[in-house]
Chains A and B, each alone.
Chain A
Amino acid sequence: MDPVIGLISTNYSNVNDFGVLLERRCFGSLPFGGRYRLIDFPLSNMVNSGIRSIGLITPAYYRSLLDHVGSGAEWSLNRKHGGLFFLNGAPYGLSSGSAKFLLQDLLINQEFFQRDSSEYVLFSASNKVFNIDFNNMIDTHIQSGADVTFLYKPIKVQHSGMFLNLKEGSNRVVGSSFSCGSEGGDLFLDCMLVSKNVLMRIMDGYSSFGHLDLAQILIDCQSQLDLRGYVFSGYVGCMDSLNDYITSSRDLFDRDITRELFWGQNRIMTKVQDSPPTKFSPGSNVTNSYISSGCIIEGTVENSILFRNVHIKKGAVVRNSIILQHGTVGEYAYLDNVVCDKFVSVSSHVTLTGTPENVFTVDKNHSI
């Protein structure tokens, strides 16, 4: 039996800081990077690390998530032994910006943990983008005898999220906070390895406190538990707000970042859609852009990300923008600092502009 099973939580939301992109979808099914959805990253990381049993806690809006993940075949999770398990989330998800692991989600799925003989559970949320091989973290956890190992990344700027307080000169976690100063801090990557007997004890003892966040409970128990931090030094794209999403999307213009994220030994897998290649017409003018398949480009595209099957018509100019699947930008339209959700149609000669700090977003299926 495999020693580690995975658990991915998608049952939380953050509409306040995100706007229309998350109004009817969970973080897990948020499109990112031209052809991916955020769930691809934790799923691929776990599978690439040899984890073959993964529970996926579904959110209230799960249509797009299940459509994307399907049987898990793209991640080789359509298996006789283990595989992908859909776990129904609690009817109310966490709405706070930083909590990701609602205890109630785990309590109502206790059977998933009880049936499996694995000794460790790797938890991950689905709102951060990174490429990691968990095997080192797992080995370190086992060797240290810790009860919980939290994955974190030291950052040097102010950011939202949960920060770990590490004991001076060691990797012991002694507390947490939900803010950091301008000097930064040790950002929890919403990813932790928990020894299963500890998890089962917590579920027992806290069974009437389903509204709490597991990560917070564990940290609150720091006097009784051996909590450690494990540092990740690679690239992390955060998605805690719309601005984060845009910053992380633009990070993909950095070749070193895409090399680490997409071109290492461990690839990020996603649902294959089988679109034709992208067609550049004579007279198209594209620079510094990340473009998925099935697009038709007749106009100008700069510093932008185009998802599948986007059509940029003649004379149209798209700058500093993100256009999700099946978007159409009409002739001589002008877009600068715009995010268009799926199936948005911008008529010809329309001008839409936002600013880098305040991007103009267009809701799904809208025509302008």
Chain B
Amino acid sequence: MKPKECLAMLLAGGQGSRLGALTRRNAKPAVSFGGKYRIIDFSLSNCTNSGIETVGVLTQYRPTILNAYLGTGQAWDLASQEGGVHVLPPYATETGGSWYEGTADAIYHNIDFIDAHEPEYVLILSGDHLYKMDYNKMLQFHKANNADLTVSVIQVPWEEASRFGIMTVDNNHQIVRFSEKPKEPDSNLASMGIYIFTWSVLRQALLDDHVDPDSSHDFGGNIIPNLLAAQKRLFAYTFSGYWKDVGTIDSYYYSQFELLEDNPAFDIFSDDMRIFSNANISPPHYIGPDAKVEGSLICNGCSVYGTALHSILAPDVHISAGAVVRDCILLPGSRVEAGAQLIRTIVNEGVTVPENTISGTEEGPITLIGE
């Protein structure tokens, strides 16, 4: 096999418990987003658009939908002779088996996989962020600095800095301090959870971390502080652009409605860095004779006989005559029966909302109809 310059490892095994019922049967990266997409589409499309051909996807929690969705990676143009999407679940060995104990442990257990590709650099991604990024620029930055690790950071408002992992840098963007959720931050550069490691450095760090009985085997908690302590060359690459963690119900809900704005910060319609997805083969959507649809995103396979106002309808959603949804997100295959009135409600995949259901409130928390 031709050696790879850079290989991506996408961490997709987490539960995403903050998304409640949405991740009860489905891993967070495979949760529907923005109508036709699933959250992992954004990271995978970034890989394609950055020329990264080989992606290892680390799975663990509820992987059924995710595995089926990934397939060969063809949907993201990743199913090439030179590359591919490789699903990497935990596995058993002659000494038994175990789960991935942390983000670093997941990579540790796939050292053989990475070695087989002989990469110089390894890009670590998490599959739960909404952003368009050319990883290649970050790689150029990493190489120019002769870095051991480059962390992608974004400037956050100072008052929010204590919610993030904060990188303090010197004038050359070299990281001098890393503090996880600092009470009194001295920087507002937040880690985006995107790392480029020089593979030889990461490989040794993983081996050292694995035998450390006190380690929780986490990139943020162990690997990065250890490298910093060992005076390795750590740099912060400042990303400017739209980036959002969609890991809570609120951010999941509100960031989708940003897609509907007139000049959205994150534009799914722009041809620049297209978002690919594993699209279904449903027919176009049908808007019925008495339907009313305004300010909404609607996907293939939907049929709307009732009213949809300022809502997002994923593929194959059905809204019966007389039903009204407003400020709602309806996930793939869900149905809203006649007379139902939903406000500010998320309806989970495949769920049927019975006739005359009244749900949601004008203010306060978003309602989630789970099963």
Residue of A nearest to B296 (CB): A280
Q: Is B362 in contact with chain A by the CB < 8 A criterion?
A: no
Residue of A nearest to B312 (CB): A277
Q: Is A33 in contact with chain B by the CB < 8 A criterion?
A: yes
Give the number of chain A interface residues (Cβ < 8 Å).
43
Q: B56-80 toward A: CB 8 Å interface, digit per residue (1/0)?
A: 0000000000000000001100000
Query: A267, B36: Cβ atoms under 8 Å?
Result: no
Contact of B289 among A36, A283, A287, A296 (CB under 8 A): A287
Please tell me which stretch of B14-22, B178-186, B269-277 contacts chain A, meaning at least 4 of its Cβ atoms lie within 8 angstroms of it: B269-277
CB distance from B70 to the nearest CB of A (A): 16
Q: Is A178 in contact with chain B by the CB < 8 A criterion?
A: no
Contact of B287 among A252, A281, A288 (CB under 8 A): A288
Query: B284, A35: Cβ atoms under 8 Å?
Result: yes
Complex CA–CA separation, A290 to B284 (angstroms): 6
Contact of B299 among A263, A272, A277 (CB under 8 A): A277
Contact of B298 among A73, A252, A277, A285 (CB under 8 A): A277
CB distance from B13 to the nearest CB of A (A): 26
Q: Is A154 in contact with chain B by the CB < 8 A criterion?
A: no
From B285, B287, B303, B313, name the one whose CB has the most chain A CB atoms within 10 angstroms. Answer: B287
Which residues A254-310 have CB closer than 8 A to chain B?
255, 258, 261-263, 267-270, 272-274, 276-294, 296, 301, 305-306
Complex CA–CA separation, A217 to B303 (angstroms): 46
Query: A293, B295: Cβ atoms under 8 Å?
Result: no
CB distance from B276 to the nearest CB of A (A): 6
Inside 8 A of B299's CB, which chain A residues have their CB? 277-278, 293
CB distance from B91 to the nearest CB of A (A): 29
Query: A33, B283: Cβ atoms under 8 Å?
Result: yes
Residue of A nearest to B310 (CB): A282
Given contacts A276-B269, A287-B290, A292-B300, contact A269 B283 (CB under 8 A): no
Query: A278, B279: Cβ atoms under 8 Å?
Result: no
Complex CA–CA separation, A34 to B287 (angstroms): 13
CB distance from A287 to the nearest CB of B (A): 6
Inside 8 A of B291's CB, which chain A residues have their CB? 286-287
Q: B77-114 toward A: CB 8 Å interface, digit per residue (1/0)?
A: 00000000000000000000000000000000000000
Complex CA–CA separation, A258 to B303 (angstroms): 11
Inside 8 A of B303's CB, which chain A residues have their CB? 255
Given contacts A274-B274, A277-B36, A277-B299, contact A283 B286 (CB under 8 A): no
Query: A293, B300: Cβ atoms under 8 Å?
Result: yes
Q: A236-261 toward B: CB 8 Å interface, digit per residue (1/0)?
A: 00000000000000001101001001
Query: B294, A280: Cβ atoms under 8 Å?
Result: yes
Inside 8 A of B156's CB, which chain A residues have their CB? none
Complex CA–CA separation, A281 to B310 (angstroms): 9
From B284, B289, B299, name the one whose CB has the most chain A CB atoms within 10 angstroms. Answer: B284
Query: B294, A281: Cβ atoms under 8 Å?
Result: yes
Query: B281, A283: Cβ atoms under 8 Å?
Result: no
Contact of A276 among B275, B287, B296 (CB under 8 A): B275
Q: Is B151 in contact with chain A by the CB < 8 A criterion?
A: no
Query: A272, B279: Cβ atoms under 8 Å?
Result: yes
CB distance from A347 to the nearest CB of B (A): 22
Inside 8 A of B285's CB, which chain A residues have their CB? 278, 290-292
Q: Is B130 in contact with chain A by the CB < 8 A criterion?
A: no
Q: B14-39 toward A: CB 8 Å interface, digit per residue (1/0)?
A: 00000000000000000000111000
Q: Is B297 in contact with chain A by the CB < 8 A criterion?
A: yes
Query: B283, A288: Cβ atoms under 8 Å?
Result: no
Complex CA–CA separation, A252 to B269 (angstroms): 27
Query: B281, A269: Cβ atoms under 8 Å?
Result: yes
Query: A276, B36: Cβ atoms under 8 Å?
Result: yes
Inside 8 A of B283's CB, which chain A residues have their CB? 33-36, 258, 261-263, 268, 290
Contact of B288 among A273, A278, A287 (CB under 8 A): A287
Complex CA–CA separation, A291 to B285 (angstroms): 5
Inside 8 A of B36's CB, which chain A residues have their CB? 276-277, 293
CB distance from A364 to the nearest CB of B (A): 20
Which residues A75-123 have CB closer than 8 A to chain B?
none
Complex CA–CA separation, A294 to B300 (angstroms): 10
Q: Is B194 in contact with chain A by the CB < 8 A criterion?
A: no
Q: A220-233 toward B: CB 8 Å interface, digit per residue (1/0)?
A: 00000000000000
Residue of A nearest to B298 (CB): A278
Q: Is B351 in contact with chain A by the CB < 8 A criterion?
A: no
Complex CA–CA separation, A301 to B303 (angstroms): 16
Complex CA–CA separation, A293 to B36 (angstroms): 10
Inside 8 A of A34's CB, which chain B residues have their CB? 283-284
Residue of A nearest to B79 (CB): A73
Inside 8 A of A281's CB, which chain B residues have their CB? 294-295
Contact of A288 among B274, B284, B289, B313 (CB under 8 A): B289
Complex CA–CA separation, A272 to B291 (angstroms): 28
CB distance from B129 to the nearest CB of A (A): 19
Q: Is B293 in contact with chain A by the CB < 8 A criterion?
A: yes
Inside 8 A of A293's CB, which chain B residues have their CB? 36, 284, 299-300
18 contacts between A and B (CB under 8 A): A33-B284, A35-B283, A35-B300, A255-B303, A261-B283, A272-B281, A274-B277, A278-B285, A278-B298, A280-B296, A282-B294, A285-B294, A286-B291, A286-B293, A287-B290, A288-B288, A291-B285, A293-B300
Residues on B lying within 8 angstroms of A by beta carbon are 34-36, 74-75, 260, 268-269, 274-277, 279, 281-291, 293-300, 303, 310, 312-313
- Top 4 nearest A-B pairs (CB, nearest first) are A34-B284, A277-B35, A292-B284, A282-B295
